[in-house]
Amino acid sequence: MGDVNHPRTEDQRQSDDQRLREDPPQGEDQRLLRGARARQAIARHAVDVASLEGLTGLTMGRLATDLGLSKSGIATLFGTKERLQLATVAAAREAFLDAVVGPAMAVRSGAARLHALTEHWITYVETPLFAGGCFWVASLPDFDSRPGPVRDALIRHHQDWLALIAGELRQAVRAQEIAELDVDLAAFQIDAVLTAANTAARLGDDAAMTKVRRVVGGFLS
């Protein structure tokens, strides 16, 4: 480090600065880690609340009461309601990918993978992964006419989901597993059925998922 009689050179000072940037002091590192964990836990609970009441009903005060935290503490972590909503959408997306998309990627692309996606989606709704069922079904209608970053994030996820379904249908056609069809229209129809099935299941329709399997199976036969 050097002393009064042997001051550090410029190169030594730059080296120390670089080391501090790459390896922050333990106290600071632990504080950042605790903040990230708290933010993650709050966002995950916010997904459950939004799946029941919509993103527009999400407030820092509600989360503070639910989790036994201070409203000011949550405000420090997220800043604004919009940032809280965006963090909630991101947490929902991560959980959805882990529960539905990720496991299906281990299956051969095409008809088999679309079947796997359907089964994992059914499990995601029936478990349910989120307290109110499908987060996306609950959240999209709230923002379909509200331009802004939250709507954009919801749309990106929905478009990615439709593209994934269409991509697997397209691969199934190429592999001659199914007959030629309009894959974008079929993906739209499958997504519409999934949306309807989520609502039906929440209303007590025990046959909703059987209907999903029949519809998707019809495209894959």
Nearest Cα neighbor of 136 from 149, 147, 127, 124 is 124
pTM for the whole structure: 0.83
- Average model confidence (pLDDT) for the chain? 90
Whether the predicted pLDDT of 28 surpasses 90: no
Whether the predicted pLDDT of 90 surpasses 50: yes
Fold of domain 10-220:
Tetracycline Repressor; domain 2 (1.10.357)
pLDDT average, residue stretch 172-201: 98
Per-residue model confidence (pLDDT) at position 26: 59
pLDDT tens-digit profile of 142-180?
999 999 999 999 999 999 999 999 999 999 999 999 999
- What does 39-52 look like in DSSP terms, one character per residue? HHHHHHHHHHHHHH
Whether the predicted pLDDT of 20 surpasses 60: no
> Helix or strand or coil: residue 69?
coil
Other Cβ atoms less than 10 A from the Cβ of 74: the count is 22
**Gap between the Cα atoms of 33 and 25, Å rounded:** 12
8 A C-beta contact, residue 8 and residue 92? no
Nearest Cα neighbor of 161 from 203, 206, 100, 89 is 100
pLDDT average, residue stretch 22-26: 53
8 A C-beta contact, residue 47 and residue 88? yes
Nearest Cα neighbor of 54 from 196, 154, 160, 126 is 154
Whether the predicted pLDDT of 62 surpasses 50: yes
pLDDT average, residue stretch 32-57: 91
Helix (H) or strand (E) holding 1: none
pLDDT average, residue stretch 183-188: 98
**Gap between the Cα atoms of 209 and 14, Å rounded:** 62
Q: Is the preceding omega at residue 128 within 30 degrees of 0, hence cis?
A: yes
pLDDT average, residue stretch 69-88: 96
Per-residue model confidence (pLDDT) at position 35: 76
Q: Which one has a higher pLDDT value, 66 or 28? A: 66
Burial class of residue 218 (count of CB atoms within 10 Å of its CB; 0-12, 13-18, 19+): exposed
Per-residue model confidence (pLDDT) at position 30: 75
Per-residue model confidence (pLDDT) at position 5: 40
Q: Which one has a higher pLDDT value, 34 or 165? A: 165
Nearest Cα neighbor of 57 from 71, 42, 67, 47 is 47
Question: What band does 91 get if pLDDT is binned at 50, 70 and 90?
Answer: very high
pLDDT average, residue stretch 56-66: 94
Per-residue model confidence (pLDDT) at position 3: 41
